[in-house]
Amino acid sequence: MGNVAIIARRELAGYFRTPSGYLIAAATLLVQGLLFNTRAVGSGAKYSVHVLQDFLRDSSGTTTVAAVLLTMRLFAEERQSGTLTLLFTSPLREWEVVVGKFASALTVLAVLVLASLYLPALIFVNGKVSLGHIAGGYLGLLLVGAATIALGVLGSALSRSQLMAGVVSAVLIFVLFLAWALSRVVDPPLGTVISHFSLYEKHFFPFMRGIVQLSDIVYYGSVVYLALLASTRVIQSQRWQ
């Protein structure tokens, strides 16, 4: 795991060596704050638990967008700058490069997600929610973030430019997003099977309600594993071209 740590540290330095990492963090926290005040809290009377649920729903969207923005550069930038050749000629194994890049992006995203904890804490000013509900909701956000980061790594591995990496990543995420809508119009049992691929409604919404289920954790873990495995295979094929 030493090589993974080396890659992760290198990528972490890359996020903070340029303004892009700071801009993504600032924009994400700003949008979350605006959504919390305008949508979650709103202008009418609401139960505190509903405020928290609305905040978590909106935060899953901002977390996804931040994940795409953070992963666009991981492999695509290396190709554009020519440094990917150095990685390919190094003794590093492909999976170490992929996991190291994934770990760096996930670390930045986790810090970004946890930095928004002050928003649900504001609910305690005039209301009350369970700390367990907040913890479960944030676990869900971190799992959504991990899954979308992994899909973003795959999108970047498949692309030659950062813009294309963002588009490919968004398409991969959108396909899983559409699974729920498709399952609503397909008769069971096929519709039920398709619903289990839903990235949000099927697997994140329980976390949004404060419910932690092993099946949902396994789902997100599976998405991460399969996306990183696919990324490794892509990098292996490119390495020997």
Contact 96, 182 (CB under 8 A): no
> Which residue reads 């619903």 in tokens?
195
- For residue 168, the model assigns a pLDDT of 92
Domain count, the chain: 1
Is pLDDT at 87 greater than 70 in this prediction? no
Report the C-alpha gap between 134 and 50 in whole angstroms.
Answer: 12
Q: What is the mean pLDDT of residues 37-66?
A: 86
Find the range with the poorest average confidence among 41-55, 57-71, 118-132, 213-227.
Answer: 41-55
Supply the pLDDT for residue 1. Answer: 64
pLDDT band at residue 43 using 50, 70 and 90 as cut-offs: low
> Looking at the predicted structure, is the pLDDT value of residue 241 above 60?
no
Per-residue confidence (pLDDT) for residue 133, from 0 to 100: 93
Provide mean pLDDT across the span 148-172: 90
Residue 236's pLDDT is: 82
CB 141 within 8 A of CB 60: yes
Quick one: pLDDT band at residue 117, thresholds 50, 70, 90?
Answer: very high
CA-CA-CA-CA dihedral for 132, 136, 141, 147, to nearest 10: 160
What CA–CA distance (Å, rounded) separates 134 from 17? Answer: 33
Q: Average pLDDT in the 9-37 region?
A: 86
What's the pTM? 0.91
Model pLDDT, residue 74: 81
Give yes or no for residue 107 having a pLDDT over 90: yes
Question: Which one-letter DSSP state was computed for residue 211?
Answer: -
pLDDT class for 30, splitting at 50, 70, 90? very high
For residue 74, how far is the Cα from the chain centroid?
A: 14
Asked if the model's pLDDT at residue 95 lies above 60, the reply is yes
Task: Judge whether residue 238 has pLDDT over 80.
Answer: no
Per-residue model confidence (pLDDT) at position 84: 66
Per-residue confidence (pLDDT) for residue 160, from 0 to 100: 83
Query: Residue 177 is encoded by which pair of tokens?
Result: 């997003």
Under the banding of pLDDT at 50, 70 and 90, the label for residue 57 is very high
Task: Identify whether the C-beta of residue 64 lies closer than 8 Å to the C-beta of residue 144.
Answer: yes
The label of the residue with tokens 């926290």 reads 29
Asked whether the predicted pLDDT for residue 76 surpasses 80, the reply is no
Whether 79 shows a pLDDT value over 80: the answer reads no
Can you tell me the mean pLDDT for 79-100? 75
Range of the domain at 96: 2-239
The mean predicted confidence, pLDDT, of the chain is 87
**Both tokens of residue 241?**
């071209």
